[in-house]
Amino acid sequence: MALDPQSVLAKLNASAPEQITALRYLKNEVIGHIQKKEDWVRHGVLRPIVRVITPNTSKANEDTRPPFLTLTTFTDEDSAKLQALQLLASFANAGPAFLSPLHAVDALPAVLDSSCLQNGHPRIVLAALRVVRDIAAAAAYAPSTSPITTKTLAETLFAEGPLDSLLHILSQKTPSFDGEAQISIVTYLIKDLCRDERHQLALLNKGILDALATKLASFAVAQGQVLPGAEIIARLEGIEDFIPAPATPASSLDGVLGAIASIIGDSRFRACKLLYSPSILAIFPVANIDPSKSPMLPLGPMELPGVQRPPTKHLDFEPMDLLLPQALPEVPSHTAIPSSGTLREDSGHGGQSTSRFQSTTTSRSPSEDASASKNDAEGEKAESPLVPWLINLIRSRSGSEMLMATSILTSLFKAGFSYATREPSLGLLVVPVLLGMLDEFDAKIKNIDYNSCSRDTASLLNIVEETPAILARLITDSEPLQKAAFECNAVKTVCKLLKESYDAPPPLAKSWSWASSNKSSDSMGEVSPDCRLGEEGQHRFLVHRVKLRENALKAIGALATFRDEYRKAIVEQEVVHHIVDSLTPTPDNPVSVVLAACYAVRILSRSVNILRTALVDHEVSTPLMQLLRHHDVEVRVAAAALACNLVTDFSPMRESLVEAGILEALCEHAHSHNATLRLNSLWALKHLVHASSIDLKKRCVEELESGWLVRLICDDTEDEALYSAKTRSDREAAQSTLNGMDEDIDMGLTDDQSRAWLSTSFYKSPSNLAHTDIRILQEAEKQLETLRENDLNPVNKARKDDLLIQEQGLDFIRNLIGGALSGSSADSLNDTTEMIDFLFTTLGQDRLFEILASKLRTKVFHPFSRRGGTGSETRIAPPKPKIIVAVIYILVHIAASIPRHRQLVVSQTELLRQLQKLFNSQDKEVRVALCHLINNLTWQDNASDGPGCSQRAQELKNLGFLTKLESLKEGDDELDVRERAKSALWQMKPAY
């Protein structure tokens, strides 16, 4: 029976049976017919549909159903709500243009209400989640002007109320088809939307990461891959209740892995929280046990996986490694210090009912046994068995499951939670699989229909988009993994992807919309927002092309970090013009692409040959100047980092960039309130003044302002700003303090911001179990608190920023007084002398030496950052080696000038006394620099400098430098230090 729009609207505002009739009629009308959906939007049908699912407060408090029917009876109101949710999902599925009217009628708040997401009827919960899923899918292609984007949707979904509902869904104990479907949608929403650190922390603090870890553990249980003896150990430790039931066949491993990967990201703290989740500890215990002994004998106590430093303790029994190929080259020593990102390995036991492992031990060499005993004595830690389990998962799965497992493994690897021996094994077991899948899926997309809206098509495109980014994360800063990728033809593969992102698009269908057909702009202005469509979204092919371009650029940069050979191979693929084109912001090159292109060019510019040829030929300096003035601060940060390599003394672009105004731009950015932009700009200026003319150096100091340079080197700008905002009860008073420092700088944090890293509890479980008496969880909480402090405390980050900026500021001064670009050594010496006198005049001679002395003193930090502290304790830290080295080399350059300047240095008695104490430094570079300084201070220019040289040598001897040098010459472990000390002694002894 046909109904006119007015009748339908009337029924939607009537009783539940009438609503059901109207809703069913609408479903038959619009499902599969986008034009009819547009017509019904114009008639204003969305608002009454949303009203059907909006909870009525008075009725919600008066449930007339008998208690025994509450969860089983499907009333007319429930049926109407279900039909309305299904209709909203259909409208959302029609594309980005429908997001605007859905937003106008507040569809999302209604759907995310607990009356939908925590409804007693699983079908209603599932229908509500499908609405959110389809809105999220449309938002992925929405224009930036859309009221609903992935960012705004994430803000709404990851708020307090909806997070409670998501946790409720993930924590369901009774498996069902609808329940598994709900969990699948929730995990995909987290995977696609959780990118911001605030949201990642919110999900962790709510207990959602633990819930996902429990789901992940259930897959290991279902596969029989719980470690032998795990059930017994868990029972002894009091965590047996955390061993989950096996996952059902309907469970989505892909979604769980993706959600976990999105939450932990690149955070060591969140990665550790995954390893320390009770379910992971329960099924993958770390315990030294002997499977050859009777199972009736007591087992060793459970240990925590190593996270404070890379694990090195190999256990006698590591059954999870039996799942991996054994034909790997042996690494000589397990005790070698691992690189910045390495994988950990571990052993444990699981009950026979859930494990397929045999009671056999992995063979070990005598040297490994000795190493393990030594590690035990030193209290070192083992690796979590989750690491080899993930490697096995990567090799046994395909598609998105394999990719998401790789992403989690990468997070653990980069966090340093794996054995050093894992690094070469990843190059053999993971990198080839990842690149092989990329080649396979890239070939498949050649024949797909980009106008198709199927989920299979979207999944295929997502895999091709995401794989280069995950590969880039995995191999960055790892030369062995870059070598493995290069040998697997990664350069050819990722360069081909970049070229494809610039190919002409295939014929693309254009969606028809009534909003753009017969309606003038004047008439549209009179239509209610809920009755008109928004802008059409981007075509999925165009979005795919942008993501592919961005991630291919990331992979290109990651491949070329270390070796010129790899950079040359990239240039030979003829992609440099595409890389440089990606530096220009356009609709096809959004900020994310520009940032990736800056990174790729910066890595390529590490090659002097490429810098002087390919990058010059493609005029990379032109877009650089535009990016330094870009409105987005992240782009300016990336551009300043890129400038570091383009303004070096061997760069042919230096002169043209100076003429284009790069000096002024960098000096301006060195005053920025953004610490990273200040750092990168100062770094680039350091390179710009190296071996440059006297005029350029003086111009740079004047443009930067000498007072600001002193402030960058002396003041703990970030630390003081945080301290001011933290300790003053009046926020405005703190702000005025900062403004007094510099009116362009506002580094204070509100109280909420400064406390955002705090948390009251690390373990939140749906069963509300008390953890106070569980030893292993108590230990885990202590470790987690330490990592949280290191990773999230804004004070720590501020202090790190201060040190990095101070180091670059000191190096800037060092390069100012270093040899200038002159035709002879005499001219160079004259230029050095002139610049030293210029700095003495500009900064003040006594002030400069006091600045240098202050950098060598012990630093007393503000005490407010400790939790549970009395407020009166202080933190004391010695100067960092890099700061010390920077200070010493400034003195080395001053001492390389004329005798007058050498005499000035020797007259700084207090400064020299501090330097004399540093001969015992553990840092080799500090000891080498001190030897250089003594060499220069005892240098004799000519006969007239003889008495002065003798006086300087005697002063140094009186201060104890001679004894220290002799000690270095005889007993230092480093050959370079011994040789430098020998040279300094040879020059110093005859002088007195």
- Give this prediction's pTM: 0.87
Residue 41 clears pLDDT 70, i.e. is over it: yes
Of 261, 264, 226, 265, which is closest to residue 243 (Cα–Cα)? 226
Q: What is the pLDDT of residue 174?
A: 86
Residue pair 610/570 in contact (Cβ under 8 Å)? The answer is: no
Buried b / exposed e along 712-722 (16+ C-beta atoms within 10 A): bbebbbbbbbb
pLDDT at residue number 456: 83
In a domain, 959, yes or no: yes
Determine which of 480-494, 770-784, 827-841 has the lowest per-residue pLDDT on average: 770-784
- Does the pLDDT value for residue 278 go beyond 50? yes
Mean pLDDT of the chain: 85
With cut-offs at 50, 70 and 90, classify the pLDDT of residue 71: low
Establish if 823 belongs to a structural domain: no
Tens of pLDDT, residue by residue over 949-971, are 999 999 999 999 999 999 999 99
Residue 809 lies inside a defined structural domain of this protein: no
Number of domains observed in the structure of the chain: 3
- Among 193, 224, 247, give the residue marking a domain's end: 193
Contact 808, 687 (CB under 8 A): no
Give pLDDT tens digits for 549-580: 999 999 999 999 999 999 999 999 999 999 99
Q: How confident is the model at residue 40 (pLDDT cuts 50, 70, 90)?
A: very high
**pLDDT for residue 756:** 43
Which residue is it, tokens 């004799």?
940
Q: Which tens digits make up the pLDDT trace of 725-753? A: 444 444 444 344 334 333 333 333 334 44
Domain termination residue (choose one: 551, 569, 599): 599
Q: Read off the pLDDT band of 858 (50, 70, 90).
A: confident
End of a domain among 550, 574, 599? 599
- Whether pLDDT at 718 is above 90: no
Q: Is residue 61's pLDDT more than 80? A: no
Q: Is the pLDDT of residue 370 over 50?
A: no
- The mean pLDDT value for 439-450 works out to 86
Tell how strand 859-861 and strand 875-877 pair up: antiparallel
Please report whether residue 361 resides in a domain. Answer: no
pLDDT confidence bin for 792, thresholds 50/70/90:
confident
Position 519 pLDDT exceeds 70: no
Residue 36 is part of a domain; what is its CATH number? 1.25.10.10
Q: What is the spatial distance between Cα 747 and Cα 727, in angstroms, rounded to a whole number?
A: 14
Fill in the amino acid letter for 268. R
Q: Looking at residue 863, what is its pLDDT?
A: 53
**Three-class SS state of 507:** coil
pLDDT at 343 over 60: no
Residue 260: count of CB within 10 angstroms of its CB: 27
372 or 256: whose pLDDT is higher?
A: 256
Q: Give per-residue pLDDT as tens, 459-517.
A: 899 999 999 999 999 999 999 999 999 999 999 999 999 999 999 887 776 544 444 44
pLDDT, one tens digit per residue, over 896-945 is 999 999 999 999 999 999 999 999 999 999 999 999 999 999 999 888 99
Write down the pLDDT at residue 716.
64
Instruction: Kindly report which listed range (320-324, 666-670, 771-775) carries the lowest average pLDDT score.
Output: 771-775
Q: Which amino acid is at 116?
A: C
The whole-number pLDDT of residue 25 equals 94
> At a CB cut-off of 8 Å and minimum separation 6, what does 305 contact?
275, 276, 286, 311, 344, 346, 381, 382, 383, 384, 417
Across the range 861-881, mean pLDDT stands at 61
Q: What percent of the chain has pLDDT over 90?
A: 70
Q: By mean pLDDT, which of 26-40, 392-406, 760-774 is the weakest?
A: 760-774
Whether the predicted pLDDT of 329 surpasses 50: no
Q: Is 563 contained in some domain?
A: yes
Mean pLDDT, residues 14-43: 94
In the predicted structure, residue 299 carries a pLDDT above the cut 50: yes
423 Cβ contact list (under 8 Å, min separation 6): 338, 339, 341, 342, 343, 413, 478, 480, 481
- Range 315-343 average pLDDT: 56
Q: Please tell me which of 151-155, 522-526, 759-763, 790-794 the model is most confident about, judged by mean pLDDT.
A: 151-155
**Lookup: tokens for 76:** 């007319």
Tell me if 319 is assigned to some domain.
no
Is 938 among the domain residues?
A: yes
The pLDDT of residue 150:
96
- Which domain covers residue 942, as residue numbers? 848-857+878-992
pLDDT tens column, 575-618: 999 999 999 999 889 999 999 999 999 999 999 999 999 999 99
Q: Is the dihedral of CA 970, 975, 977, 979 positive or negative?
A: positive
Domain assignment present for 926: yes
CB distance 607 to 647 below 8 Å: no
Q: Tell me, what's the pLDDT at 627?
A: 98
- Helical packing angle, 177-193 and 208-222, nearest 10°: 120
Q: What's the rounded mean pLDDT across residues 359-380? A: 40
Crossing angle of the two packed helices 34-42 and 76-92, in degrees rounded to 10:
110
pLDDT at 292: 62
Predicted local distance difference test score (pLDDT) of residue 715: 73
| Those residues with Cβ within 8 angstroms of residue 734's Cβ, 6 or more apart along the chain or in another chain | 724, 725, 728, 748
797 has pLDDT over 80? yes
Lowest-pLDDT range of 338-347, 659-668, 798-807: 338-347
